[in-house]
Structures are given as structure tokens and as C-alpha cells.
A and B are shown apart, each in its own frame.
Chain A
Amino acid sequence: MPDAATLTADELIMGQHLVQTLNLDGVQAADIAPDAALFGNHAEGLGLDSIDALEIALMIQQHYGVELRSEDKEARTAFESLRKLTQFVLFKRS
């Protein structure tokens, strides 16, 4: 089991993709809290918005070959945190 506060190798790679895709200057992928909210709050999470959601969807399709659809119930929770996003993408790809 991964430590609750440490990133797995897959989460670190996903974090690096996020930092690069969204130009999150000053954010180190390794420092992203895996369970923190991606959207809304800057002090604890990354403070992303809906324009970012489209960029993330694009990155996920290009890097992982996974297509996001709103109808997909799992996709709705995938954007909650780095950990959930990584788990969703790995599950869809398998």
C-alpha cells in the first residue's frame, strides 16, 4: 500500500504531466498532495478551473489514450484529486 501522503510512481508522472500541461509555475509535481482537491482551493490544492479540465482531458487522451466522457460515472470523480485521476486513467487503460 502506498503511504497516504507520498506519491506513487504513476502519480508522480501524472503530476508532472499536470504541471507541464497547465503551466503551473512554481509547483513541483512531487509536492502535490495526492488527495488534495485539484479544483477551487489554492492553499490546499491546485485551484484549477473548467478551462483546465479541458486541457487535462486532452493531455490524458494524448499521453494515456484514454477518452473522457461525462456519462462515465467514474470520470465524474476522477477530477477530485491527483490520486483519483491516476487511478481512473490506469483503470481505463488496463
Chain B
Amino acid sequence: MLPLINNDATPLIWRDGHGITRAGFIHAAQQLAARLADRTHVINLCASRLGFMLGWTAAALRNQVTLLPPNQTEAALQLLQRNFPQHSIIDDRSLDKLDWNSKSSATPSIDSEHIIATLFTSGSTGAPQAHAKTWASLTRTAQLDAQRCIPKPINLVATVPSQHMFGLQTTVLLPLLGGCAIHDSKPFFPADIRAALESIPAPRALITTPAHLRACIAVNLQIPEVEFVLCATAFLSEELARQTEVMWRTTVLEFYGSTEAGAIGTRRTTEGDAWLLHPGTTISKEMAGTYYHAPHLSAPLLLNDQIELLDGQQFRLLGRDMDQIKIAGKRGSLNEMTQALMNIPGVKDGVVFMPANAERTAALVVAPGISSNYILDQLALSVDAVFLPRPLVMLEQLPRNEMGKLTQTALLQALHI
């Protein structure tokens, strides 16, 4: 058995300027658990941190598995609902009339090998892939993250959703198990981030993405002091990290990880390209590829990236397999996207690729008599929005060389004609 929450005297969530206590939270989670329908699975759509954590804990108390969709689109939800007919849905309205001002002295715990959640990753196309997590594995992940990033109790503001792995680790597990309290909201615009940080006491930290950071720095956003900024989900440039450190007099840390592993390593972006492995974990080079070994993984995990080992504790990323890209926290395959493009009736030839230094994919398409908007809408049926190509250029033929190949130079030239 393992506790679902560290039941100490520190606050868990900051909401409307007040700290919600852990004892109050447990009391409310027990009420919500009693209300849950007798099902096997729960789909947790809460946007508020309080709602998500209450739903998460209530489902665990009833031995129900929390399902986390790859995104919040109608299509992703419908697929989950079809595949798991024995489910109920929790959203922020489920919190009505819950009381978190009374206290419970109990510390709820569950069987450590219980599957507490299944996360889904969509990849670029096709059926979502399921990743089941036991409470023991998530508890160990949280302990490693906390050891590496949280040297002392700290108050968090996070812009990322709780429903994917990075969000789950930082906005749910760190508060529940890792000595943090988190602001209830999920701020989006720079001014929202400032307001959330202003409403919580020091010491503070910000969990965010390169896209949000860029928006904050571009408007010269002034915020209260933050001990560190923790960033993940897409490529963060050293330049942006440096500007952030200077403007906010802080430290910018990056997470490297995956849905399968959780976090693998961290680095301070301005200190160079060496990543520090989480404590107690190792990387090994084998014939079949590079493997990550960690106490929370039941078997060594094959990593998708090309990695150079520097010493037992540090490694360097040598760039991803050219086919694999990562945008807004989602990994996708350019080959699969090209295949989806070619599958659209009327498309004679086409390619999806990633121009150097671009934030989005681009596409070249040969499809006489069909509009680019039609193609984009067709593509959107199977490809996540963040991967939809922009620009999408219609051509009479692709710039294939005599071998039939498309070089990066030829692709870029065709894009700018």
C-alpha cells in the first residue's frame, strides 16, 4: 500500500488567495468518491487543478482507472467513450457542493500495483496508444522529480494541462507527493500568468512551455520573483532561456522525458547541452539502441533519440531521428503525416516536412482541382492540429531529383516559389 497524498500541514492548492489544506482536500475527495457511479473507468476533463486532483484521488479511492485523452478534441473523447463503455466523466461541474473546509484525519492509500491511470498518446496519425501507470511507478517518478527539482517546499503556477505526462508529473504528482502547492488555475495569456503568480506567496516557480515563455518575454512581462522556470514539451532555444533568466533573475530548467518514462533528465539550458540523469537511473548503449533503466520502470525502455553518454550521470542529445518531430508536447512522425496526406482522395503526390528553424510542418501537394483548404480539413480528421502543415503549397509536380528523392534544399526552394 502507498499513500495517495502526503498528508502534512502544508497547503495543497492556492485558490482565490487561500490555501486549501491537505486534510480538507482528503475530506472533499472522499465525498466525491462516494458520489462516483459504479464504473471501471473515469475520464477526467477538469481544467482546474483542484477539480483534476479531486477527480483523480476520488477515482483511486474507488479503484477506478483514470483515462487521460491525448487531447481535448471531440474526436479523441468520443473514441475513449466508445472504447471504455464502463466510464463516467468528471469535469469542473462535478465539484458542486463539495466541502473542503472540513477536515479528514485519514491518509488514504491504495495498493501500490493498482493501475491508477492510463494515458493516451496520439502520435501523428492512427489509433491512440495506451500507457498504463501503476501508483508505485508514478510515486517513484514523483520522488525522483522532487529530488532533482524541488529542494524546498515551493508554490507552483503551471500553464500546462494536467492530462499529459509532463502536466501530470508537475501539476498533480509534485503537489500530492513532492512538497509543492499549486495555483488552481491554468493561466494562458502572459497577463494570466502574472496574475496567478501575484496571488501566491513566495517561494514560487513557474511550469510552462517555450511558446508561453516566448510570449511573456516578448511583452516584457514583469512578474514576482520565481526561484525557477521549468520548461518542456518543445524545443527551447538557448537564447530564449538566457533572456528569461536575465529578465526574471531566475534559473530556467528543462525536462527531457517521455510518456513511457516520465522525466529522464534535466538541464539548465544556458549551461550547455549536457543533461543530468535523474538520481538512481542509468542509460545504456546496446546493439538494438539506447535504453533507459530506472527503478520505476518494470523493464529497460528503448529511447527514440540518438544519445551520447558523457559519463554515468550526464548525456547529450544528438538530435532526433529525422522522421520524429515534437510540437506542443506531441510527438509525431513525418512519414505517417505524409501517408495521411497521400490517402486523401485526389492527392497525386505530396510530402510533409519540417523546414529548418520552423515551428510548424510544411507541405507540398500535387492535387489538380482540389483546394488546399479542403486538403487541410481532410488531414485534420486524422492528424493533430499542431501538426497541420503551414504553409501548404499546391504544385504541378514535386521537385524530385533524378533518383526520385526530395532533398531538403529542393523542398525549401519549392516552398518559397
Contacts and interface: CB of A to CB of B under 8 A. Distances in A.
Interface of A: 22-26, 41-43, 47, 49-51, 53-55, 57-58, 61-62, 67-71
Contacts of B372: 26
Contacts of B386: 49, 51
A26 to B, nearest CB: 6
B202 to A, nearest CB: 23
Contacts, number: 69
Contact of A23 (B187, B189, B373, B390): B390
7 nearest A-B pairs in the assembled complex, by CB-CB distance: A25-B391, A42-B376, A42-B373, A49-B385, A69-B191, A54-B215, A68-B189
Given A54-B212, A58-B219, A47 B192 contact: no
Given A42-B376, A43-B374, A49-B385, A69 B219 contact: no
Most-contacted residue by chain B among A43, A54, A71 (CB, 10 A): A54
Contacts of A43: 371, 373-374, 377
Contacts of A51: 211, 328, 359, 386
Q: Which size bracket describes the interface of B in this complex?
A: 20 to 34
Interface of B is mostly: helix
Contact of B376 (A47, A55, A61, A71): A47
B359 A47 contact: no
B388 interface: yes
Interface in B188-227: 188-192, 195, 211-212, 214-215, 218-219
Contacts of A42: 373-374, 376-377, 380
A69 B189 contact: yes
B76 interface: no
A17 B212 CA distance: 20
